[in-house]
Structure 1
Amino acid sequence: MNKPLKIAIAGLGTVGAGVIKVLSDNKDIITARSGRAIEVCAVSARDRHRDRGVSLAPFTWYDNPVDMALDDEVDVVVELIGGSDGIAKALCEKALENGKHVVTANKALIAHHGTELAKTAEAKGVSIMYEAAVAGGIPIIKALREGLAGNGVERVYGILNGTCNYMLTNMRETGRDFDVILSEAQDLGYAEADPTFDVDGIDAAHKLAILTSVAFGCEVDFDGVQTEGIRHVSPVDIEFAEELGYRIKLLGIASRQNGSVEQRVHPCMVSKKAPISQVEGVFNAVVVEGNFVDQVVLQGRGAGEGPTASAVVGDLVDVARGVKVPTFSVAADKLEKLKSAPLTGHNGSYYVRLMVVDEPGVFADVAGVLKANNVSMETIVQRNRAPGEPVPLVLTLHETSEQSMLNALNGIAALDSVVETPRMIRIEDF
């Protein structure tokens, strides 16, 4: 039997404690699959005395996690602190520089600094592994980097944030407003006290930036992700979507186009017949479209102690086996620097909801603005009449450019009969 792989864990929150539990409860399975034992030898966290449901007595305690990177006994540093900079970044950099493997669940760190960390790791002959950073227990990084390595990936998209998916599911099922559902999600622990990263799409954008790099062999470019959250989605929009045969999902979508890459996160209307529209609650799903495999769909829990710890341990098993693959599918010094395709150049179909005064001539005014911007209507829905009062008017538009759509919306918003900012949601044909 080979000597044990010794690991140090920085961050003992839900995931850190979960990793210790998985390694203990599944010790025999993990050892058999790794060909060697995987043993925790050191830990670090902010509070040494907090009850985490696991005993820390067998492990060396470090007040400063960066010091673990200098411990000669440690083979792998597991970074579960979080955050794109600060102590998490310092720890990973120091560990890699000292020739230690790094396993992390830190999506922000990889999204902002992944290219540089990959170059350091590969120069030092060690690995930086991050399966747990994207879609929790779904092994999407391994699938893209290894199982689908023979394919040219044409598009990758998915539900990458369980909080938003939970909220949109419950808004549809209950008809309740965004704020009510958000408060409930916070009470259940699905949303943070400050939900900005989730509901404004930033969390999903971190994950999409990582997926884009792995899928297309390009440098990680978080700043190139065009991001829009779900705050403006209302029960009215969800109800109209159902009537029109769609469901609203917050999706991250990346595609490669003539030397550039389009990365976008925003609410989408997808057909109720599409597999991804059936993914509900806190579940995530990722769809990969390859030139030989056609379409692969992976679905599972995107967060939580068990799924995320499972992904961390999966990476540890690969390290223990001696599996060496490039961090982002190709060698770090061969990653392409792709130009970001602007969303204004995107072509697609659109849903638009207007609040208009119910009076003669409204349809004609709206149609005139659309015609002037080369945008054509596919359907019009107005359920109720209330002469002289504001009523919802819903349009779906044939495929057009994003810029034409934005120009048309600006023109429509300026009409006297339109009393609220028009709401637009992109329609995706999957």
Structure 2
Amino acid sequence: MVNIEQSKSYKFAGYDTVELAKKYGTPLYVLSEEIIRSRCREIKTDFLDKHKNTKAAYASKAFLTMTMCKIIESEGLGLDVVSGGELYTAIKAGFPMDKVMLHGNNKSYDEMEMAIANDVGRIIVDHIDELYMIEDIAARLSKTVKILIRVAPGVGGNTHKYITTGQKDSKFGIPLAKETIDEAVIKAMNSRHIELMGFHFHVGSNLFENDSYIAAIDVVMNLYRRLKDDFGFIAKEINTGGGFGIYYTKNDSVKPLKYYTDSIMKAIEDKCKELEIDIPTVIIEPGRWIVGEAGITLYTIGAVKEIPDTRTYASVDGGLPDNPRPALYSAKYEAVIANKYDHKPDRKVTIAGKCCESGDILIWDLDVPQIERGDILAVLSTGAYNYSMASNYNRIPRPAVLLLTKDGEKIIVERETYDDLLSKERVPF
């Protein structure tokens, strides 16, 4: 067993990660409150304060707990939720409902009713059937519901096909075929309980270029002009989604927020001037960009398996259940041996998870120093879509979530136990 006291250790947000692993156990999700807040403040400085008539909502699917709701609320951002569970979390956290936007390509009646009963700020309509559902519920509850219609602008982003969402053949949004979109707009305009505010699009996730946003804006603003000419409808809002890329590996060409938002605003302003229409309120919905680099995951290395002249596997005490992204769409990560951070890497190992799946590989060919059982591995940029996608595959309890603050470290989600895994089971005989 390695003596972790003898080596200089990796620090994250000013905290010794080896000490965190010893104190709280592994696997362990670790988040920096300061990094999260600094990203929120960059949105305020470089978008909200810089450009008139703008709003920003955190895309909570990236990572959501009641504590995260409190942080986002205190930073003045809105919240984008995509399910009843995410909405319920926001409600229980006391998040201002007028700053919540409900998304989802197949909202249930119960989810829609929860949203309308709690006066969410916007419902993003993904299918024309949802208009009938909203009208039915809103009429019964004597409510008027503000909506955006999500459209598929026919624009793809340069990213993995599983996280491309704006193409014509997408499960998300109403197609822009004239008869299809017109039917939805007319239905919304004629409803006594629906107020159509504008349209929403999202072209994809983890994008490093802004061209797909600009192309989608061109399509949607042309729609705004036509709807004004055909029906006298003046859209007041445009939601351009999120998807801004973050750093995972040295191959990522990361851009600052303003690279995207300045281009988005210029494209909208120029197009509105060309079409002689009013500039709508512009909304963005970053999620990964806010929380992704604010998180790491700590593991303990167990078995080290050397296959001569082939490969060395280093297995960790987590893997697929706490981070399915590598198996899901070949996501790439960087990592360090936290307790040997000052040791020069001189070999390659493949980091394997402990699940009974050959595809449970976190990182292929990671450069490391000599490693052994008991070393601590820190996988970087795991703040987004790790905890939120975690499962109990192989009956492995989910890790704890630790928040690093200026006042110390705080557990914001407790580590699951084996009893937790059985807590909902019932034996009928």
Give the TM-score taking structure 2 as reference length: 0.28
Give the TM-score taking structure 1 as reference length: 0.28
Q: Which has the higher helix share?
A: 1
Higher relative contact order (CA 8 A, sep 6+): 2
